[in-house]
C-alpha cells in the first residue's frame, strides 16, 4: 500500500510516518519547505505550494489514500491576519489536493483529514459524541466547520472521507505538553481559569495508531480521537506536577490574565470539551494509553 501524507513533517505526521513504515506502508509526503524533502527507503518527499495550487503529480503515483494533517499552528498569537492563515492553510491544502485529483489520473479511494474537538461548544457537563449538532461559536469552531466541509468535497470525487476530531495531543517532543510543563518545572505551575474545564487528551502513539487504524480498516465519517478518560485542567496540572515532585501552591491563573497575555488564543486553555471515544472503540481501536497517569509515566517517567 502507498499513502500520501500532507503535513507529515509535524508532530503527528512524524509519529504517523514511523507507524506506517513499521506496518510496511510506503509513504509519499508533501511539504511546503524544500529543505524538508528527503528520500529514504519507503518514504519520499515532494514540494507543494497549496496556496498556488502547485503539487507534483508524481506524488500521487500508486497512492491509494491521502492523509491531510497540514495547517498553520494554532499556538501562534491570533492576530486578525494570522487567523486568516489558520483557516486558509487548512482550506487551501484540501483544495490543492482535490484539484490534483481532478486533474490527474489516480487510484485514491480514501481521504482522511485532521480535524479538531474545538468544533464542540465549551461545556462543563455535556459529553460530546460525533453526532453532536451544536457547534462552538468561537473562532476555532468556525475553522473546523470549514475545514471539515473542505474534506467533504472529496466525496464528490467518489472518495471515502474520514475526519479525525483530535484532542490535545501529548508528546514530549512538541505540542501542548512541553508548554504546560515549563512553569511546572520551575515550581510555578497553576491551574488555568477555574481549572474545572475538561481537557480531552490523546497520547501521541494513540493518535498515530488511530490514523493507521482508520486507514487500514477504511473507516469513513467523523471520529473523535481522544483517550477514553478526559481530565479537568486542575487534575492535568496536578498530575504533571507529580511527575516532577512539585507542589501546586499558586492560586489558579485567572481568565482575565490569560486573555491579557494570550489574547483570544486563551480559548485553547480555557474552553471545556468532554469528548467521548466510544465510536473508535466500537470500530475496534484499542488504546495504548487509557489513563493520563500511565500516559505521563510513559512520556515523562
Ligand X SMILES: NC(=O)c1ccc[n+]([C@@H]2O[C@H](COP(=O)([O-])OP(=O)(O)OC[C@H]3O[C@@H](n4cnc5c(N)ncnc54)[C@H](OP(=O)(O)O)[C@@H]3O)[C@@H](O)[C@H]2O)c1
Q: Which is nearer to ligand X, 91 or 290 (CB)?
A: 91
Supply the DSSP symbol for 87. Answer: H
Q: Which residues contact 5 (CB under 8 A, 6 or more apart)?
A: 13, 16, 17, 20, 27, 28, 29, 30, 66, 67, 68, 69
Compute the least distance from the CB of residue 48 to ligand X, in Å: 8
93 binds ligand X (CB under 6 A): yes
60 binds ligand X (CB under 6 A): no
Compute the least distance from the CB of residue 251 to ligand X, in Å: 27
The angle at the Cα of 73, spanning 132 to 108, to the nearest 5 degrees, equals: 65
Among 141, 175, 189, 209, binds ligand X (CB under 6 A): 175
Among 10, 193, 209, 230, binds ligand X (CB under 6 A): 10
Among 4, 5, 13, 65, binds ligand X (CB under 6 A): 13
The CB-based long-range contact list for 244-252 (8 Å cut-off, 24+ gap) reads: 244/181, 244/184, 244/185, 244/300, 246/184, 246/185, 246/187, 246/189, 247/187, 248/189, 248/190, 248/191, 250/188, 250/189, 250/190, 251/190, 252/190, 252/191, 252/192, 252/193, 252/194, 252/195
Compute the least distance from the CB of residue 199 to ligand X, in Å: 11
Q: Which is nearer to ligand X, 9 or 237 (CB)?
A: 9
- Could you give phi then psi for residue 116, rounded to 5 degrees? -140, 150
Compute the least distance from the CB of residue 79 to ligand X, in Å: 15
189 binds ligand X (CB under 6 A): no
146 binds ligand X (CB under 6 A): no
Compute the least distance from the CB of residue 250 to ligand X, in Å: 25
Residue ranges in 110-129 that form contacts with ligand X under rule CB under 6 A: 114, 116
16 binds ligand X (CB under 6 A): no
Residue facing ligand X at closest CB distance: 10
Among 71, 141, 189, 230, binds ligand X (CB under 6 A): 71
Q: Note the residue count of the chain.
A: 301
Q: Which residues contact 40 (CB under 8 A, 6 or more apart)?
A: none
- Looking at 171-293, which runs of residues are DSSP E strands? 198-199, 201-203, 221-225, 231-232, 274-275
Compute the least distance from the CB of residue 187 to ligand X, in Å: 26
C-alpha 47 chain-centroid distance? 22
Site stretch for ligand X (CB under 6 A), options 32-40, 100-108, 184-192, 243-251:
32-40
Instruction: Identify the helix (H) or strand (E) that includes residue 160.
Output: strand 160-166
Site stretch for ligand X (CB under 6 A), options 98-106, 164-172, 246-254, 269-277:
164-172
- Could you give phi then psi for residue 104, rounded to 5 degrees? -130, 155
Q: Which is nearer to ligand X, 14 or 160 (CB)?
A: 14
Residues contributing to the site for ligand X (CB under 6 A): 7, 9-13, 31-33, 36, 50, 69-74, 85, 89, 93, 114, 116, 166, 168-169, 175-176
Amino acid at each position: 500500500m502507498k499513502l500520501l501524507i500532507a503535513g507529515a513533517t509535524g508532530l503527528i505526521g512524524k509519529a504517523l510516518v514511523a507507524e506506517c513504515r513499521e506496518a510496511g506502508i510506503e509513504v509519499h509526503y508533501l511539504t511546503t519547505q524544500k529543505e524538508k524533502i528527503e528520500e529514504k527507503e519507503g518514504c519520499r518527499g515532494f514540494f507543494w505550494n497549496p496556496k498556488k495550487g502547485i503539487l507534483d503529480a508524481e506524488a500521487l503515483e500508486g497512492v491509494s489514500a491521502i492523509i491531510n494533517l497540514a495547517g498553520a499552528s494554532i499556538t501562534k498569537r491570533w492576530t486578525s491576519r494570522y487567523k486568516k492563515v489558520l483557516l486558509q492553510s487548512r482550506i487551501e491544502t484540501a483544495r490543492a489536493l482535490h484539484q490534483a485529483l481532478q486533474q490527474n489520473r489516480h487510484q485514491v479511494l480514501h481521504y482522511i483529514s485532521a480535524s479538531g474537538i474545538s468544533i464542540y461548544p465549551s461545556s462543563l457537563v455535556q459529553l460530546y459524541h460525533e453526532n453532536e449538532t451544536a457547534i462552538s461559536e468561537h473562532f476555532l469552531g468556525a475553522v473546523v466547520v470549514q475545514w471539515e466541509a473542505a474534506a467533504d468535497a472529496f466525496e464528490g470525487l467518489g472518495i471515502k472521507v474520514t475526519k479525525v476530531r483530535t484532542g490535545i495531543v501529548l508528546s514530549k517532543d512538541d505540542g501542548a505538553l512541553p508548554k504546560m510543563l515549563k512553569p511546572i518545572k520551575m515550581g510555578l505551575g497553576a491551574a488555568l481559569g477555574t481549572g474545572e474545564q475538561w481537557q480531552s487528551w490523546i497520547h501521541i502513539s494513540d493518535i498515530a495508531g488511530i490514523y493507521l487504524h482508520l486507514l487500514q480498516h477504511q473507516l469513513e465519517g467523523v471520529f473523535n480521537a481522544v483517550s477514553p478518560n478526559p481530565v479537568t485542567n486542575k487534575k492535568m496540572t496536578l498530575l504533571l506536577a507529580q511527575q516532577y515532585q512539585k507542589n501546586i501552591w499558586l492560586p489558579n491563573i485567572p481568565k482575565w490574565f490569560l486573555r491579557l497575555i494570550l489574547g483570544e488564543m486563551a480559548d485553547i486553555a480555557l474552553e471545556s470539551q468532554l469528548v467521548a471515544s466510544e465510536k473508535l472503540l466500537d470500530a475496534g481501536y484499542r488504546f495504548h494509553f487509557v489513563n493520563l497517569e500511565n500516559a505521563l509515566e510513559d512520556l515523562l517517567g
